[in-house]
Structure 1
Amino acid sequence: MFTQYGHKVFSLGTFHDPNKPANHLRQGRPEFYNEELLERFVALDGHNDLRRVPLNFSRYFDVVIVNHFPEWVRFNLEAFGDTPVILRSIGQSSSAIERDYNALGDRVKIIRYSNTEVNKPGFAKTHGVIYFSKFKEDYEIWSGGDAGLTFQNDFCSRTEYATPNLQEWRTIHDASNCRLFGRNNEDVGESSGLAPAEDMSNLLRRAAFYLYVYTRPPSYHLSVMEALMAGTPVLAPSAKLIASKASMADKWDDGYTDAWTEDRYEVPSFLAEGAGLTYDTAEEGASLAKMLHEKPDLAAGYSARGRQRAIEKFDAATIITQWNDLFEKICASVSANV
């Protein structure tokens, strides 16, 4: 998004060096890479494998954005010098991570990806909320199909942390037929393998509905955003269903139990007012999935309202304005203190 709207960006993540294969589900486009800055990075003895920023490198930038990892900020604070640093939450906060955020004090600005992370007990101060974004033009408009769709990686190994879990998902699948795509699902007989990134929009367009699988702790995942943006009717677990599992702390000892509460799960608000459907039990989910199959006119209504909600909430043209406003405020503050 930043590059498409005219910002010069250098990444220490997936889209760092175009000559190295990216271990990522989605390949980068040429404009994601900045060879001029890469040459400067290497010349200053930068090491991407160590995520180490060389001294004097940050002088080429107006701001540093770090996704999620406070320890990476601490490791590179000296190298950042006086360059402003934004810590961008991505929904993976635990109580321990929030304590690390707090320890950084005023050296960083914390920008949340969801309103449900704001003012939570034990969470660090929030300096702003900017949601994830999608380009609505990247999604073909929903046309419907004869099977539901789920994107979920590692379903077997993560089933006890997932809602619906694999057994519940199969209950819905058996009533309505649902295709499963994702990596490391070889042990799931219903799996269709890993969908190439370039096929995902078409799969969403031709799905009868999108059966969303939630895994803690995020407020929401990219997949539900993408389904809504494509206009695919979304069927998601309710907060009530997820909370009933979260109470089993002995089974959900995943490091996030103390930072997760029912109100952190934001998907039901995305689906409110007819923009999608939620269910309290797998049996209810199966019934709703069957309804979407059998009543295409009803499904079309959910499709239209869901896409409109996604455009209002996640459209890149709106989100970039929020980022630009933030950059202007931060840079103006730096200039005032010089």
Structure 2
Amino acid sequence: MKTLLKSIVSAAVVAAAFGAQAADFPAKDKVITIIVPFAAGGPTDRVARDLAEAMRKPLGGVSVVVDNAAGAGGSIGANKVAKANADGYTLLVHHIGMGTMPTLVRNIPFKVESDFEYLGMINDVPMTLIGRPTLPANNFKELQGWIAQNKGKINLGNAGVGSASHLCGLLFQNAVKTDMTPVPYKGTGPAMTDLIGGQIDIMCDQTTNTTSQIEAKKVKAYAVTTPKRLTTPALKDLPTLQESGLKGFEVTIWHGLYAPKGTPADVQKKLNDALKAALKDPDFIKKQEGLGAVVVADKRSDPAEHKKFVAAEIAKWSPIIKAAGVYAD
């Protein structure tokens, strides 16, 4: 009887502690850290930093900072969040990698579908097919001809195994039925630097990283990966890969917000409310649109729909990755 009573009292104390924690969240003297599992300066980093700024006000002005923990296809940073205290002060911004890591990363130390609390989707980011500025092809038709004439000599850059640019590159090679030499980098920044410098030939990357380079004419732009053309001024004249002849080619990178499993429901609700407020923030929307990204304005901003969407992405990408035989160790 005493043991039972002690257990009941202990449970009540724990419940009261969690309740108080949720009621006080976020504490003014604490910092919310958003972990980005990729290098600083890349597209996911830019999204996270814009989001951190937009979430500060709806969270009562508390400090929201970004910390980069890159490596292993995005799994190192994700694992850091999965193992963090479930108190709402350590969050994760990840992209399509949440849908590819279960297949792509060997011996992944966590379960994507059960070791996180899904807080909501952030945006959809189209991809652009771009080339070095000295590439002789000036449009996609000419690029196809150049690819046909240079089989076995083409260097296809990406931001590392498992990155958005890597996944898009895999699909592009399959679509044009041409093997290219993959050149992986430790992040989008160095990959873009070498593309501009002519060390690699082509790359498929997110508009959040390519738009400014296309505007400055530092790279050649050939097409977008969405079903319809984009309205962003710098990209509005680019054809889609589908209309250019690659039927069914569609890649859109998305970003979502996550917390460690076990984060109190009230804390999750406050974080989701802050996320939704950020998604309606005119400054955040303007920044994302300027990068070619589309802020989520549908039910995927709800946790349950976010989780359902990621499950569908896992099912979509698993056979593609297995067929390519690529893994991030």
Query: Normalization by structure 1: what TM-score?
Result: 0.30
Structure number with higher relative contact order (C-alpha < 8 Å, ≥ 6 residues apart): 2
Higher strand share: 2
Query: Normalization by structure 2: what TM-score?
Result: 0.31
